Amino acid sequence: MSVEVWKKPNESVLNLVKRFSAKVMKAGILIEAKKRQFYSPKPNKRTKKLSKLHRLKKQAEYERMKKLGII
């Protein structure tokens, strides 16, 4: 998506910028750019599995320490 705005005769730069901003907002370009700014791909099965195993290991360690009275 591209937005083009040409300067009209006797138009101030401020009005040109306002028209450009309005067109960008109407086209939804800023919203789309903000959505894509922090894109992270979905994790694959192996990554999910390793993450879950790590989480379970940490949870078991926490429970063991809690049982021993360390925490």
Q: Is the pLDDT of residue 7 over 90?
A: yes
pTM of the model: 0.52
C-alpha–C-alpha distance, residues 61 and 71, integer Å: 11
- For residue 71, the model assigns a pLDDT of 83
CA distances to 6, 9, 11, 23, 25 from 18, rounded to whole Å, are 12, 16, 11, 9, 11
- For residue 49, the model assigns a pLDDT of 97
pLDDT digits (tens, 9 = 90+) for 8-32: 999 999 999 999 999 999 999 999 9
- For residue 26, the model assigns a pLDDT of 94
Rounded (10°) angle between helices 13-27 and 29-37: 60
